Amino acid sequence: MFNPFDESTESDATDEALVERAKGGEKEALEELIRRHQAWIYNIAVRMVWEPRDAEDVTQEVLIKVITKLGTFEGKSKFRTWLYRIAINHVINMKRRRHEEEAVSFADMGGQLDATPDLDLPDRRSVPVDLPILVEEAKIGCTVAMLLCLDRRQRLIYALAELFGVTDQVGAELMEMTPDNFRQCLSRARRDLYSFMEEKCGLINHHNPCRCAKKTRAFMDAGYVDPERLRFSPEHVTRIRDVARERHSEIMAMSERGYQAIFRDQPFLEAPQQTALLRDLISSQPFRAPLELDR
């Protein structure tokens, strides 16, 4: 699968050729260009806002900006850098979504998990999916929620580096900071996140009482797990580890790789209904003039 964060000159050349064709008026080239990147924007957005439906809205907002501004791209940087700076600036400065408003500190989240009762799983005949899928949904929802306890910049840097394998150099370009600052921010995000997991998460420390299967029923009662509409556990799953190269860094100890593996085991989600969205965006009147799509 295409990965925009790989250091590949072939990938950059494909983007550049599509940009030139799109700016020359080829709607198909513009659609292909956006389709190459939309799933990555969407998966970044999910880690920023938790709720996939909110992430769809965020993705749409970013794509509108990319399409309307594409005529201003002059090729002074890689297209990847230009596009993901738009996406990054948007998600850092956007209005807070509902689950961000509900986000708490790690200490508060730990208290909430402690207060969440341990319950038996529901009768397998009472739910439309297999019980292991419900437990997986609870696990992924909880670990994505952990990211909301980081501030937006830390959350974004962690997602780029640890989930999607962005190098310090590329991350620094995208975040418009030095590689040293990128590494320092990543180190702080890891420290805060992994300290919490070591203290609370049974996936990391078997002495911790918190178990995904024991919390699943309570998460269902609270509306965080909906057997009728799974957010994070689609039937056919591509894992992040399958599409993004693992990032090896001097600042990451071997003991930390177990934490990283939990997050890289999360699904790489398809962006629902994005094809129709793209066609609507590309074909709609406001976007034609800047891109001269009728030529």
Of 11-15, 63-67, 121-125, 150-154, where does mean pLDDT reach its minimum?
Answer: 11-15
Write down the pTM of the prediction: 0.90
Asked if 15 contacts 79 with a C-beta cutoff of 8 angstroms, the reply is: yes
Whether residue 24 lies inside any domain: the answer is yes
Query: Two tokens at 149?
Result: 């306890």
Whether residue 260 lies inside any domain: the answer is yes
In one-letter notation, the amino acid at residue 220 is M
Asked if 59 contacts 23 with a C-beta cutoff of 8 angstroms, the reply is: no
In one-letter notation, the amino acid at residue 195 is S
Q: What's the burial of 44, exposed, middle or buried (CB within 10 Å: 0-12/13-18/19+)?
A: buried
What's the mean per-residue pLDDT of the chain?
88
pLDDT at 274: 57
In 3D space, the residue among 241, 225, 242, 223 whose CA is nearest the CA of residue 233 turns out to be 225
Whether residue 73 lies inside any domain: the answer is yes
Gap between the Cα atoms of 289 and 99, Å rounded: 37
Task: Show the domain range for 246.
Answer: 9-291
Whether residue 4 lies inside any domain: the answer is no
Query: Two tokens at 89?
Result: 């600036």
H helix or E strand, kind and range, residue 192: helix 179-200
Whether residue 57 lies inside any domain: the answer is yes
Examine the pLDDT at 272 and tell me if it is beyond 80: no
In 3D space, the residue among 168, 165, 109 whose CA is nearest the CA of residue 141 turns out to be 109
Whether residue 1 lies inside any domain: the answer is no
In one-letter notation, the amino acid at residue 268 is F
- Which backbone phi and psi does 246 adopt, to 5 degrees? -65, 140
- Place 180 in a pLDDT band, splitting at 50, 70 and 90: very high
What is the Cβ-side half-sphere exposure of residue 12, based on CA atoms within 13 angstroms?
A: 13
* 119-170 pLDDT per residue, tens: 999 999 999 999 999 999 999 999 999 999 999 999 999 999 999 999 999 9
Domain count, the chain: 1
Examine the pLDDT at 294 and tell me if it is beyond 50: no
Whether residue 155 lies inside any domain: the answer is yes
Select the more confidently predicted residue: 104 or 27.
27
Whether residue 2 lies inside any domain: the answer is no
3-class secondary-structure state, position 90 = helix
